A and B are shown apart, each in its own frame.
Chain A
Amino acid sequence: MIDVPPPASPGAAQKEFRPGTSWMTAAASLAFLVLGVRLYQLQILRGDDYKERADGNFVKELRVPADRGFILDTGHRILVDSRPSYDVTLRPYFCGKQCDDTLSRLSSLLSLSEDEMGRAQERLRAARGLERFRPFTVKVDIAREELDIIEANRVPGALSGVDVIPAPHRNYRYGSWGGHLFGYMNEIGADELKKANEEIERRGDGETLPYQLGDYLGRRGLERRWESRLRGIDGVRRVVVDAKGNAKGGDLEDLIPEVQRFEPSRPGQNLVLSIDWRLQEFAEKFFPGTAGSVLAMDAKTGFLLALVDRPAPDPNKLSGRISRAEMLAIHNDPLRPELFRAIQEHYHPGSTFKVVTSIAALEEGALKPGGTVSCPGYYALGRHRWRCDKETGHGTVDLEHALGASCNVFYYALGERLGTDRIAKWARLLGLGRPTGFDIGGEITGVMPDEAWHDKHVAGGYQRGMALNVAIGQGDVNVTPMQQLVLYGALASGIVWKPQVVERIEDPSGQTVQQFAPVEAGRLPVKKETRDQVMKGLLAAVNQPFGTGYWSRIKDIQIDGKLLVMAGKTGTAQGVKLGARRLKAAQVTYSERDHAWFAAFAPADDPEIVVLVLNEHSGFGSSNAAPTASAVVRHYFELKRADALERAGVPFGPPPPPALVPAERAVPPAPAAPRTLEGPASAPAAAKGEKRGA
């Protein structure tokens, strides 16, 4: 048992305890002071900051994507627009452990390809931390029925984390036509994102929003070149969400002031091209080539009227729905469909180059006006014989005949007299050997060799014989179709144009924001006689029976009572060395066949349009390129006439639809009905149009 302390008197006990409790009171006061100071710090000093963060917690900003600008042709026809469509996304955080089940459910609902499934699983596994809140795309651009299927299967718990978001997709209305020119769109990569946003910040207009992962970016062509104009400014919708990310409606909406709930997007600007799509469409259909270009340019401005370039992948596919296998097929295609041939591939110009040699010879005095050369079918230099097109020889030819009949021997002779350097000098003045300045990116320079170039690049250095090959556009002369178009444009107008395709940029209401003026890259520095002489040759090539393009002459179009005359030049560029025997195109393999060229302009006396056709590996220029050029020129003038008539108030084009047929009359036998209804209505109209033009 323990001793019990003597009961202390109350006063004594309190004397003992009070010092301790005073200390404790002081300590507690200090502790509460600390709490108070901390409160002051959090609520008063940093209150604004935390208020903002609290608001940021529940305010979810949803992007309202801006409508991307259209691409229109010169007649305001829509070539590229956006169509409503939907993407399916998955947010891993919200499906949690059931993500795999959710994915396989999606897979069966949307019949995902192995490709898409694999990609989704990869993304799912890679998502960590904050990433798990970010939706990733499972399938882009689903069909309307698929949207309905998903919505119908949205039973609670089955598809959590799955969102179907409206994502307008780019619609290239004419598929692969114009594909290289337009370019395509696809998702921005993580590294590009940073670069693109730095660029936006540098520009600092305060309006352009930074890109986000998942945004689409213009690739290649006009889509890339004019990305910042086409893109528009995204809007924002702000909604209240709880901690789980569920949107809350009702009273809670009031947490966000009404004016802040929605900021509309502003659509991008429209590109109006100089292309006349009617002409393009015609050229696309008429051009028989598997690969090649058909370029048409306004001779008075340098603006392009048509730009056919094939093969080209369908930008609709490249902009989303392409599978890995299809992508691989494009990469492995020996025709290289990803190549924009008009500016990214060069070819020997062949005989189309002879105009350059002609100009050089006349200007440098190597050929006197009216000077002739005798062609026995070959040209001898040293021990080597250089063959002419015509094995029996052209006889004695002057410039007109030589250019018209494309006599090689005549130009071998000029080549030997001129030497490579003097030819190269004139070629450069005409725009060869440097980019044309076609403002779309990725243009190559081509090769216009001189002696120094040969010394540097060819084993054994420059040799005299090389000038002979250069003179006929073979050897190491390489040009892009666009360069060749510009060259013939210079012959036609006297101006070396910078080719352009964007005529103006308009805002969504149709107001012009920026107008592009013709740009001269140089002038054709030749004497009038020189041009006249060359022009005679180009006229002969198309309009004289001995001309190589005679079959493709235009016989039946009159302008202001005058027959339309086209001037042009064929070319047949040899890709490989000629064998001992001349072979027909069908007798050699595709890649060994010659390239067919034809360059033309019309009307010859006051050129309006320049057309260049390159039909890759197809054989002779006269038979595989000239008909297309001729048809395009002809169609251009037909369209021009039709437009003029329309402006004058005469209806043109398809006849107005027949009056509505009562139902009982529409039912009887099908074959009879269309004939009686359409036949009489359309035929006279077409005939009338024909007559008026003739």
Chain B
Amino acid sequence: MALDLSLPHSGFHSQRRAFNNYPWHVAFFVLCIAALGVWNLASASRSAHAPVWISQLTWMGAGVCAALAIGFVDYRRFMRGAYVFYALVLLLLVAVMLKGRVVMGARRWLTIGPLNLQPSELAKIAVALALARWFHLDAGKRRDGYGLLSLVVPAGMTLVPALLVLKQPDLGTALIVVAVGATIILFARVRWQALVTVVVVVAVGAVFAYPHLKPYQKRRVETYLDPEGDVLGAGYHATQSMIAVGSGQGAGKGWGQGTQTLLSFLPEQHTDFIFSVWAEEHGFVGCLLLLALYYALVVSALGIAGNARDRFGHFLAVGVSGMLFWHVFVNMGMVMAILPVVGVTLPLMSYGGSSIVAVMLGIGLLNNVGMRRFVN
């Protein structure tokens, strides 16, 4: 039997019906966070030379348009293109390795015409799409859960791009790729024996892999274990960021008043450590608000996953939810020094075009699934 990927209803009429069910609450949370993000960047970049929030706003606009545009195409059409997209991203990753631009010791950027692209950001979406398709087609075969052997393909689909990203080196993004893949796989129900085996293998592997890490990566792990051990060296980021967060206290120092931000004590203050700027200036109250927005976003995304009308939509929504969740958790955990320092952005708050576009693409796909939950 031929694979029937044709869509039963496609046409303007059904589009309008789909938009009637658009998950506006998700859009609301996204826009709220995005607005706070731009506002926060305007403060964070006071000490820098360029007002980066303007460019952030531009990217944000582009991202919102892209997310809405995605809504016009039924997500099931993307299932057909999932592997193609995945292959394309792999190609881009290989291209980065060969011809990428080196910025601060890492080869992460690819210049195509006027665009500076970070293919690793796309890798997360590509893995989500590819795994969703794989599990969609694999449905019904393993009612009793997946064993190790049966997971070789999805695991490979996750690990290949992850390793390519790790090679750049970009440990943070590689971890997110793995986390997205692992989340999807877990949702497909894995046998507990398989789970235990994986955990043991990873633990043992970590011990053996540790000597092969790059010195800066090792330092980060050591710093995580003892953040105040080397206040001026590797622990500098962790220490200064904790100071920034803690010194925000209850109400914060006020917009533009964060001394850690103003006097450049925070490294990477508009990208990976943007949350410490927020925490310093808006305090516990502001942080709870932001945390609540992210929580609402993640829970809404999971809600969409739970209400998806088919397995592809379900796994795709799970992938996007996972991506959002892991970004938020790893980033905030790092800023608050409960996790080691790995370069992971805070969605919609961190400065960076590729990051915003990737998040917005994810949101677009998520809403696409959500708006078509009743569509047949």
A binds B: yes
User: Interface of A with B (CB < 8 Å)?
Assistant: 1-5, 7-8, 10, 13-14, 17-18, 20-22, 24-25, 28-29, 31-32, 34-36, 38-40, 42-44, 46-51, 53-55, 57-58, 129-130, 240-244, 248, 252, 255
Among listed B32-40, B121-129, B159-167, B307-315, interface-contacting one: B307-315
Dominant SS at the B interface? helix
Q: Which residue of B lies closest to A40 (CB)?
A: B284
Is residue B112 contacting chain A, with contact meaning CB distance below 8 A? no
Task: Determine how close the nearest CB of chain A comes to the CB of B209; give it in whole angstroms.
Answer: 25
Beyond A32-B329, A39-B288, A49-B246, 18 additional pairs, beta carbon < 8 A: A3-B1, A5-B137, A13-B309, A14-B307, A17-B305, A18-B306, A21-B305, A21-B306, A25-B303, A29-B295, A31-B325, A38-B338, A39-B287, A43-B245, A47-B248, A54-B247, A55-B247, A242-B263
Interface magnitude class on chain B: 35 or more
Task: Determine how close the nearest CB of chain B comes to the CB of A325; give it in whole angstroms.
Answer: 39
Taken together as a complex, chains A and B put the C-alpha atoms of A243 and B265 apart, in Å, by 5
Interface centre among B246, B299, B376 (most CB of A within 10 A): B246
Q: Which residue of B lies closest to A53 (CB)?
A: B243
Among the listed A43, A51, A58, which residue makes an inter-chain contact with B287, where contact means beta carbons less than 8 Å apart? A43
Q: Is A28's CB under 8 angstroms from B246's CB?
A: no
- Ordered by A's residue number, 13 sampled pairs between the chains whose C-beta atoms are within 8 Å are A20-B318, A21-B302, A28-B302, A34-B338, A38-B333, A38-B338, A47-B247, A49-B246, A51-B249, A57-B240, A242-B263, A243-B264, A252-B263
Q: Is A39's CB under 8 angstroms from B306's CB?
A: no
Please name all residues of chain B whose beta carbon is closer than 8 Å to the beta carbon of A57 when the two chains form the complex.
Answer: 240, 243, 259-260, 263, 265
Q: Is B302's CB under 8 angstroms from A43's CB?
A: no
Please name all residues of chain B whose beta carbon is closer than 8 Å to the beta carbon of A13 when the two chains form the complex.
Answer: 308-311, 314
Task: Determine how close the nearest CB of chain A comes to the CB of B280; give it in whole angstroms.
Answer: 8
Task: Determine how close the nearest CB of chain B comes to the CB of A29; give it in whole angstroms.
Answer: 7
Q: Which residue of A lies closest to B265 (CB)?
A: A243
Please name all residues of chain A whose beta carbon is closer than 8 Å to the beta carbon of B243 when the two chains form the complex.
Answer: 50, 53-54, 57
Please name all residues of chain B whose beta carbon is closer than 8 Å to the beta carbon of A8 when the two chains form the complex.
Answer: 310
Q: Is A53's CB under 8 angstroms from B3's CB?
A: no
Q: Is A17's CB under 8 angstroms from B314's CB?
A: yes
Taken together as a complex, chains A and B put the C-alpha atoms of A28 and B314 apart, in Å, by 17
Is residue B332 contacting chain A, with contact meaning CB distance below 8 A? yes
Q: Is B1's CB under 8 angstroms from A4's CB?
A: yes
Q: Which residue of A lies closest to B309 (CB)?
A: A10
Interface centre among A20, A46, A48 (most CB of B within 10 A): A20
Taken together as a complex, chains A and B put the C-alpha atoms of A142 and B107 apart, in Å, by 51
Please name all residues of chain A whose beta carbon is closer than 8 Å to the beta carbon of B156 when the two chains form the complex.
Answer: none
Top-5 shortest CB links A-B: A50-B246, A21-B306, A54-B247, A47-B249, A242-B263
Known: A1-B1, A13-B314. A243 touches B263 (CB 8 A): yes
Q: Is A39's CB under 8 angstroms from B245's CB?
A: yes
Is residue B139 contacting chain A, with contact meaning CB distance below 8 A? yes
Q: Is B187's CB under 8 angstroms from A241's CB?
A: no
Please name all residues of chain B whose beta carbon is closer than 8 Å to the beta carbon of A42 when the two chains form the complex.
Answer: 242, 245-246, 336
Taken together as a complex, chains A and B put the C-alpha atoms of A24 and B183 apart, in Å, by 9
Q: Is B306's CB under 8 angstroms from A36's CB?
A: no
Task: Determine how close the nearest CB of chain B comes to the CB of A183; give it in whole angstroms.
Answer: 39
Q: Which residue of B lies closest to A27 (CB)?
A: B325
Q: Is A50's CB under 8 angstroms from B242's CB?
A: yes
Q: Is A58's CB under 8 angstroms from B263's CB?
A: yes
Is residue B279 contacting chain A, with contact meaning CB distance below 8 A? yes
Taken together as a complex, chains A and B put the C-alpha atoms of A47 and B252 apart, in Å, by 10
Taken together as a complex, chains A and B put the C-alpha atoms of A57 and B262 apart, in Å, by 12
Is residue B374 contacting chain A, with contact meaning CB distance below 8 A? yes
Q: Is A47's CB under 8 angstroms from B338's CB?
A: no
Among the listed B183, B259, B291, which residue makes an inter-chain contact with A35, where contact means beta carbons less than 8 Å apart? B291
Q: Is B249's CB under 8 angstroms from A44's CB?
A: yes
Is residue B144 contacting chain A, with contact meaning CB distance below 8 A? no
Taken together as a complex, chains A and B put the C-alpha atoms of A54 and B325 apart, in Å, by 30
Q: Is B244's CB under 8 angstroms from A1's CB?
A: no
Known: A44-B249, A53-B243. A7 touches B260 (CB 8 A): no
Is residue B196 contacting chain A, with contact meaning CB distance below 8 A? no
Question: Contact mask B314-345 → A, CB, 8 Å, 1/0?
Answer: 10001001000100010011001010000000
Please name all residues of chain A whose beta carbon is closer than 8 Å to the beta carbon of B298 when the two chains form the complex.
Answer: 28, 32
Among the listed B2, B183, B284, which residue makes an inter-chain contact with A39, where contact means beta carbons less than 8 Å apart? B284
Q: Is B318's CB under 8 angstroms from A24's CB?
A: yes
Is residue B85 contacting chain A, with contact meaning CB distance below 8 A? no
Q: Which residue of A lies closest to B267 (CB)?
A: A243
Task: Determine how close the nearest CB of chain A comes to the CB of B158; give it in whole angstroms.
Answer: 18
Q: Is A10's CB under 8 angstroms from B288's CB?
A: no
Among the listed B187, B264, B325, which residue makes an inter-chain contact with A244, where contact means beta carbons less than 8 Å apart? B264
Q: Is A130's CB under 8 angstroms from B232's CB?
A: yes
Q: Which residue of B lies closest to A49 (CB)?
A: B246
Q: Which residue of A lies closest to B183 (CB)?
A: A24
Q: Is B139's CB under 8 angstroms from A5's CB?
A: yes
Known: A47-B248, A54-B243. A10 touches B374 (CB 8 A): yes
Q: Is B246's CB under 8 angstroms from A24's CB?
A: no
Q: Which residue of A lies closest to B257 (CB)?
A: A255
Q: Which residue of B lies closest to A130 (CB)?
A: B232
Task: Determine how close the nearest CB of chain A comes to the CB of B305; give it in whole angstroms.
Answer: 5
Among the listed A17, A39, A48, which residue makes an inter-chain contact with B291, where contact means beta carbons less than 8 Å apart? A39
Taken together as a complex, chains A and B put the C-alpha atoms of A25 and B322 apart, in Å, by 11
Please name all residues of chain B whose beta carbon is closer than 8 Å to the beta carbon of A18 when the two chains form the complex.
Answer: 306-307
Q: Is B2's CB under 8 angstroms from A1's CB?
A: yes
Q: Is B284's CB under 8 angstroms from A44's CB?
A: yes
Is residue B294 contacting chain A, with contact meaning CB distance below 8 A? yes
Is residue B283 contacting chain A, with contact meaning CB distance below 8 A? yes
Taken together as a complex, chains A and B put the C-alpha atoms of A242 and B264 apart, in Å, by 6
Task: Determine how close the nearest CB of chain B comes to the CB of A439; give it in whole angstroms.
Answer: 47
Q: Is A39's CB under 8 angstroms from B279's CB?
A: yes
Interface centre among B140, B249, B294, B374 (most CB of A within 10 A): B249
Taken together as a complex, chains A and B put the C-alpha atoms of A29 and B244 apart, in Å, by 25
Among the listed B139, B250, B311, B336, which residue makes an inter-chain contact with A44, where contact means beta carbons less than 8 Å apart? B250
Q: Is B373's CB under 8 angstroms from A10's CB?
A: yes
Q: Is A240's CB under 8 angstroms from B302's CB?
A: no
Please name all residues of chain B whose beta carbon is closer than 8 Å to the beta carbon of A242 when the two chains form the complex.
Answer: 47, 263-265
Please name all residues of chain A whose beta carbon is closer than 8 Å to the beta carbon of B242 when the two chains form the complex.
Answer: 42, 50
Question: Contact mask B225-246 → A, CB, 8 Å, 1/0?
Answer: 0000000110000001011111
In chain B between 261 and 308, which residues have their CB closer than 8 angstroms to a CB of chain A? 262-265, 279-280, 283-284, 287-288, 291, 294-295, 298-299, 302-303, 305-308
Interface centre among A22, A31, A43, A248 (most CB of B within 10 A): A43
Q: Which residue of A lies closest to B322 (CB)?
A: A24
Q: Which residue of A lies closest to B188 (CB)?
A: A20
Q: Is B248's CB under 8 angstroms from A43's CB?
A: yes
Taken together as a complex, chains A and B put the C-alpha atoms of A20 and B325 apart, in Å, by 15
Q: Is A54's CB under 8 angstroms from B260's CB?
A: yes
Task: Determine how close the nearest CB of chain B comes to the CB of A300; give it in whole angstroms.
Answer: 64
